[in-house]
A and B are shown apart, each in its own frame.
Chain A
């Protein structure tokens, strides 16, 4: 990260202009004071400007993000698809977006290739950093599309369970997809969800909620529908 020097009438002014230049809050800058500045006599004679040297602090995740981008770019170079990788730190994880010509090649069946890339990049970077780095690899908004598809499916299945009062099982899913299903139905008092099965065959089972003392409205409704 580049180091720059800033000047201002007072120290605060100098720091403020550093924050503006880097678009970062003061806590995220390393600031070295070169000259405190003085207003001189009567503010005229011998006035000196305050000078500081500021460097943006390197966050571990920011560093991992740079490296993750490098690794993915390198792998894609050998796959021979013209691509550009964009990277950013998003909600405590590294988010990498592949911009390419839009063929499904990098997504694969049900995101298989995209997940493989994501797994490998995360594995490589985590090993180098010495700590688990959550990495998300995305292209053409695949992840958010998948999330909304799965959420919709979860809600439909939830309704079905409430009507039939019988548990429903989804197809085999990876951890990421299962999480989306659990999250989608978390707020629904009428059903509860659980993952079942081993390894690659883990599925989500959606059960009708047990009868509890304070039966929520949605459940009584579902019950009367069933009768």
Chain B
């Protein structure tokens, strides 16, 4: 669910949605969501002063609160 959330948001933000890769490393309490996008799209998922990345993290934490978990979004270069 968290993985799909990030995947949907990232795909909608970039120019090359087919190159969006998201993986989830599930821990006992914390999940790490790794997001990979095309090099040219990196700026789009991060945004000015990290604003887009921050917005995605905020929504991610709301979603994970719902299922009583913690989730961290890592954007991988």
Q: How far is the CA of A112 from the CA of B60 in the complex (A)?
A: 12
Q: Are A105 and B66 in contact (CB under 8 A)?
A: yes
Q: Are A80 and B67 in contact (CB under 8 A)?
A: yes
A142 on the B face (CB < 8 A): no
A180 on the B face (CB < 8 A): no
Q: Are B62 and A75 in contact (CB under 8 A)?
A: no
B9 on the A face (CB < 8 A): yes
B54 on the A face (CB < 8 A): yes
Contact partner, B66, options A81, A108, A112, A124, Cβ 8 Å: A81
Contacts of B62 in A (CB 8 A): 79, 105-106, 108, 113
Q: How far is the CA of A7 from the CA of B65 in the complex (A)?
A: 57
Measured between C-beta atoms, what is the minimum distance from A138 to chain B in Å? 16
Q: Are A120 and B63 in contact (CB under 8 A)?
A: no
Given A106-B62, A113-B62, A120-B59, the answer on whether A75 and B52 have CB atoms closer than 8 Å is no
Q: Are A199 and B65 in contact (CB under 8 A)?
A: no
Measured between C-beta atoms, what is the minimum distance from B33 to chain A in Å? 12
Q: How far is the CA of A117 from the CA of B59 in the complex (A)?
A: 7
Within 8 A of B (CB), among A154-168: none
Mask for B34-74, Cβ within 8 A of A = 1, else 0? 00000000000001010110111011001101110000000
Measured between C-beta atoms, what is the minimum distance from B61 to chain A in Å? 8
Mask for A99-139, Cβ within 8 A of B = 1, else 0? 00000011010001101110110011001000000000000
Most-contacted residue by chain B among A74, A106, A120 (CB, 10 A)? A120
Contacts of A79 in B (CB 8 A): 5, 59, 62-63, 66
CB-nearest residue of chain B relative to A128? B12
Q: Are A119 and B51 in contact (CB under 8 A)?
A: yes
A29 on the B face (CB < 8 A): no
Contacts of B63 in A (CB 8 A): 78-80
What are 16 A-B pairs at a CB distance below 8 A?
A75-B8, A78-B8, A79-B62, A79-B63, A79-B66, A80-B67, A81-B66, A105-B66, A113-B62, A119-B51, A119-B55, A120-B9, A120-B55, A123-B13, A124-B9, A124-B12
Contacts of A71 in B (CB 8 A): 12
